[in-house]
Structure 1
Amino acid sequence: MVLTGGICIGFAPIGLRLGLGELGPQGIAFWRYAFAAPLLLGLVFLIERRAPRPPNRFVLLAGTFFTLDIALWHWGLTLTTVSNATFIVNLGNVSVGFVAWLFLKERPTNIWFVAILLAVAGAAALSLGGEVGGKGDIRGDLLALGAALLVSGYMLCSKLARRRLGGIETIFWLTIVEVCVGGLILLLSGEPRLPATLNGFGVPLFLAVVVQIMGQGLIIAGLGRTPAAIAGVLVVVQPVVAAAISWVLFDEPLTALQAGGAVAILVAVWLSQRGKPVPID
């Protein structure tokens, strides 16, 4: 479930790229959350046969972390290169295991550390191994680093939230928090709140279904049954998916170094599942 969710999230940067003609990056994020919320509420009633239970504090924290992560990531992309920002943010995913080890006492297996090294090397090769698309800026890199830290907080709090709520309830309340925080960010950003035409809602609607409901929903559901350390490596598959889609849609073939990085990430995903972390008493 986590791996499939990571594959779905790989469509996020593609959708953002296609939708920027009608909305700004913060606007796309807000409408993604807004379209997903009522659909998720319907799924709660369909699956659970009842209204969603009240959220806990970990849901509120996770939703806030995630919304700020997306906001910083989008902001960082305007100040530094896409390759820099992508690599730095993915460091947040692979660091989830260390955060879970510290706070949840989930000790990873030895093979997990090998998977982490492969994942980091692969992400570096995939993100930084292509053509240089601009000049890096330390301000943008720091924003991406902040987003990476927020990713770790989001994954940790989401796993804690899943201990008392079902997967569909958790992603519903996360999305409600994201609508509130994302709406405030949109107001402060000064971006247009509505697209110029109705067609401008197409990309956010697509992202709501594929990325928010399917992607985030599957990851949250899977976190209830998957150690955080493994989940953090599994979601690193998303840049591989994004790169493959970009190759097809935008005629952006991978360099040999990038292709090697993609293979390294896939091997890391496979290795990360060889064994389960042992809880520390």
Structure 2
Amino acid sequence: MTETDLHLPPPRAWVGPLLLLAGGFCIGLAPIGLRYGLDTLGPQAIAFWRYVFAIPVLFVLLVAIERRMPARINRYIVLAGTFFALDIALWHWGLTLTTVANATFIVNMGNVCVGFAAWLFLKEKPKPIWFVAVFVAVCGAAALSLGGGADGKGDIRGDLLAVGAAFLVAGYMLCSKLSRNRLGAMDVIFWLTVVEAGVAALVVLAAGERFFPATLAGFAAPLFLALAAQVGGQGLIIAGLGRTPAAVAGIVVLIQPVVAAAISWQLFDEPLTGIQGSGAALILLGIWLSQRGIRRRKVRPAAKELQEAVRSAE
């Protein structure tokens, strides 16, 4: 093997954001599945079964793809899974106390906070264009969430719950990023789901909801969410986090409310207003701008490390 053979090609910078976009699209289906399932189960019980149904699927995928048992869980996965499960719980609770528009906008701000948290804790300083992308995306999220007119009576208690959920979103993304720095995507998403199922069970008990629907048909919505939102959505997002700076990832996943709004328009006859349509366009523009904030990784150090490994093996 020659030295020129060890000059690795630069990583494809678009792979991570593409995985995040695909994951955000799948997560955007979650409100649709939840809406269909509320006739047979409470929101916290739906979340619990979403995780439970996903666990065996993720285990089989991990063993089939990696050809091994799951790696050892670490504290960052425990934290991330707890943050995510509590985020879903607060989000559902907040929706019962404030307007959907308020709760949606506030929670989505948690994704933007990820960039500042990564800057503070992970030393991932974004490029100046990232701040422009944040401003554009926030304006778009506000227009999309708040531009449809009043959908209920706001309540400061619900808004505060949504604020709590936003911080939990930021904590989940940050700890998931730290987990991905140490373990593969399949290990992280499997253990995350196990932790989330345990936390969700406690939330169901605290909320006083029943665990089982009246008929087997009541499991349809949680099963859909397990495959689409948990295995597909959260799995792709975890994979994308390993290839994308946390600051950029937080903006890319804002595709979620755009997808949810577009599908609701078709399924539930909830057309977007002009302001909401403009908001969706601004979010997409912010996502595009955020890609210009990715700092390209240098290839030469990696090649040097590989050369040293080969020399040691010789």
TM-score range, shorter chain: over 0.9
- CA distance in 2 between counterparts of 1:87 and 1:275 reads 23
Deviation per residue, 1:10-49 (Å, 9 max, x gap): 0011111111000000010000000001100001101110
User: Of 289, 300, 312, which residue of structure 2 is paired with 1:271?
Assistant: 289
Check the 8 A contact 1:107/1:277 in 2, yes or no: no
Q: Which amino acid aligns with 2:99?
A: T
- Across the aligned residues of Structure 1 and Structure 2, the Cα RMSD in angstroms comes to 1.0
Q: Offset at 1:278? A: 8.0
- CA distance in 2 between counterparts of 1:104 and 1:66 reads 20
- CA distance in 2 between counterparts of 1:230 and 1:250 reads 32
Question: Residue 25 in 1 paired to residue 43 in 2?
Answer: yes
- CA distance in 2 between counterparts of 1:111 and 1:204 reads 39
Question: Residue 86 in 1 paired to residue 104 in 2?
Answer: yes
Which residue does the alignment assign to 2:207? 189
- What pairs up with 1:35-184 in 2 under 5 angstroms? 35-184=53-202
Q: Offset at 1:197? A: 1.1
- CA distance in 2 between counterparts of 1:130 and 1:60 reads 38
Q: Which amino acid aligns with 1:57?
A: R
User: Of 12, 30, 33, which residue of structure 2 is paired with 1:12?
Assistant: 30
Q: Offset at 1:277? A: 4.0
Aligned length: 279
Percentage identity across aligned positions? 69
Q: Which amino acid aligns with 1:52?
A: P
Which residue does the alignment assign to 1:234? 252
In our comparison, the structure showing a higher alpha carbon Rg is 2
Q: Runs of 4+ in structure 1 displaced over 2 angstroms?
A: none
Residue 254 of structure 2: SS of its match in structure 1? helix
- CA distance in 1 between counterparts of 2:82 and 2:254 reads 21
- CA distance in 2 between counterparts of 1:82 and 1:204 reads 21
Q: Which amino acid aligns with 2:137?
A: A
Check the 8 A contact 1:107/1:278 in 2, yes or no: no
User: Of 197, 206, 211, which residue of structure 1 is paired with 2:229?
Assistant: 211
- CA distance in 2 between counterparts of 1:34 and 1:187 reads 16
Which residue does the alignment assign to 2:261? 243
- CA distance in 2 between counterparts of 1:131 and 1:29 reads 28
Task: Return 185-194 or 85-94, whichever deviates more.
Answer: 185-194
- CA distance in 2 between counterparts of 1:38 and 1:278 reads 37
- CA distance in 2 between counterparts of 1:51 and 1:64 reads 23
Q: Which amino acid aligns with 1:65?
A: F
Q: Offset at 1:275? A: 3.6
Q: Which residues of structure 2 form unaligned runs of 5+?
A: 1-18, 298-314
Deviation per residue, 1:204-226 (Å, 9 max, x gap): 00000000001000000110110
Q: Which residues of structure 1 form unaligned runs of 5+?
A: none
- CA distance in 2 between counterparts of 1:246 and 1:276 reads 32
Residue 191 of structure 1: SS of its match in structure 2? coil
